[in-house]
Amino acid sequence: MDSIPLYLSLGSNVGDREANLKEALERLDKTFLGGRDALSEILEFPSWGFESDDFLNCVVRYRIPAAGQSPAFHALSILGVCKDIEKSMGRKEDLRFDGAGNRIYSSRIIDIDILFYGCDRIDTDRLTVPHKLAGQRDFVMIPLLQIAENDVIDSFPEIFHSK
């Protein structure tokens, strides 16, 4: 059966940050049936886009079965799983924007973002893959480069070769 590499970024800056990351990873492992095949180091970074306590961040790669559906449909179902885990761990969705339309970021117990769904590009009103800000964020790129495979690096030169 064909599998797709799924890359997720995880971050936490509230409470026991490391325990939060480990719990989220355990929940993702159960969802993706032990398909985890790579995990970066857990690293500390300053908050991005707002003043707050530092985050612990990591990037994880799962090999998931091809779903037999469109990449966008499958990735949106994965987004739902990530949002459900965030909510069940106590994250409150707080989407706010300033007068110029820029997102206002805030602290969070857990944040799970889809970085890559194989080498597919997905652009819907709810999800953009690859994550549109990945290349601008050291807290994503440094752990991602620890585990990124060449096919993903080669497929997205605008992200990996932009610095």
Query: Does 96 score more than 70 pLDDT?
Result: no
Beta strands in the chain (DSSP E): 3-12, 36-39, 43-45, 55-65, 96-97, 103-104, 111-117, 122-123, 128-129
Query: Does 101 score more than 70 pLDDT?
Result: no
What residue ranges define each of the domains in the chain, with the CATH number in brackets? 3-160 (3.30.70.560)
Over residues 29-74, the pLDDT tens digits come to 999 987 899 999 999 998 876 677 899 999 999 999 877 778 899 9
Instruction: Give the C-alpha separation, 41 to 147, whole Å.
Output: 10
Q: Which of 90, 78, 85 is nearest to 118 (CA)?
A: 78
Within a 13 Å sphere around the CA of 24, how many CA atoms are in the beta-carbon half?
33
Mean pLDDT, the chain, rounded, equals: 89
